[in-house]
Amino acid sequence: MRIDIISCVPATFSGLIDQSILKRAGEKGLAEIHIHDLRDYAINKHNQIDDYAFGGGAGMVLMIEPIDKCIAKLKSERDYDEVIYMSPDGKTLSQGISNELSLKKNLILLCGHYKGVDERVREHLVTREISIGDYVLTGGELAAAVVADSVIRLLPGVMNDETSALTDSFQDDLIAPPVYTRPAEYKDWKVPEVLTSGHQAKIEAWRFDQQVERTKAKRPDLLNRSGSED
């Protein structure tokens, strides 16, 4: 899988992407992330990429031309499945969306800034809009990194333990069961006995019970989901 991220503050990604799971996925040849500086597509020698909003109002708007040129260049090099605009008013990211995107081959993630992008970018160049939650960030960069991480970790071979992505919270609309490691007793806090019993069927049944109980207690909204909002 290849993800191209278009940003006017590309430095945000250094350390985010060249570390962590994304680095490992790159080294294994499973995923590539390429960051593109929107200023490389500026319309004039002043490196201009934004301008005042028609009709007035505070805040600058990212211009359509640099974005169009950057996307056109990428599209001339390969086909893309999606051009995704990171925006607080997009569809909220869910495990279902990440699962779906993990099946794609090439994605473009466009990061907005300031007051956003010229609306014609959204009308003509973008195939979907994703938000990472109902709050406003200074730009789409952190949101794009969240999407890239949540998608790339699902690719077969990226995680060391192949099954662990499937047992994540939200994968089946249940949150994950609690996990423990050695020592089995610390101070007088004990690990649930079933986990050290060696009885695998009982352990699985206990884990499932815990998932249901914890979901009821912490995220009852997940139990009423039809799955249709993915």
Distance of CA 82 to the CA centre of its chain: 14
- Using the rule CB under 6 A, is 143 a contact of ligand ADE? yes
User: Is the Cβ of residue 88 or residue 96 nearer to ligand ADE in the bound state?
Assistant: 88
- Using the rule CB under 6 A, is 132 a contact of ligand ADE? yes
Nearest approach in angstroms of CB 46 to ligand ADE is 25
Q: Where does this chain touch ligand ADE (CB under 6 A) — which range of 22-30, 118-126, 134-142, 217-225?
A: 134-142
Which residue of 140, 145, 158, 165 would you call a contact of ligand ADE, by CB under 6 A? 140
Query: What are residue 62's DSSP bridge partners?
Result: 50, 117
Gyration radius from the chain CA atoms: 22
Instruction: Report which of 29, 2, 4 is spatially closest to residue 157, judged by C-alpha positions.
Output: 29
Helices in the chain by DSSP H: which ranges? 20-27, 64-77, 95-101, 119-124, 141-152, 200-218, 220-223
Nearest approach in angstroms of CB 229 to ligand ADE is 17
Helices in 85-168 by DSSP H: which ranges? 95-101, 119-124, 141-152
User: Is the Cβ of residue 146 or residue 203 nearer to ligand ADE in the bound state?
Assistant: 146
Among positions 46-85, residues that touch ligand ADE (CB under 6 A) are none
User: Is the Cβ of residue 7 or residue 215 nearer to ligand ADE in the bound state?
Assistant: 7
Per the CB < 8 A criterion, the answer to whether 57 and 33 are in contact is: no
Per the CB < 8 A criterion, the answer to whether 12 and 41 are in contact is: no
- Using the rule CB under 6 A, is 183 a contact of ligand ADE? no
- Using the rule CB under 6 A, is 112 a contact of ligand ADE? yes
- Using the rule CB under 6 A, is 131 a contact of ligand ADE? yes
Q: Where does this chain touch ligand ADE (CB under 6 A) — which range of 58-66, 128-136, 161-169, 193-201?
A: 128-136
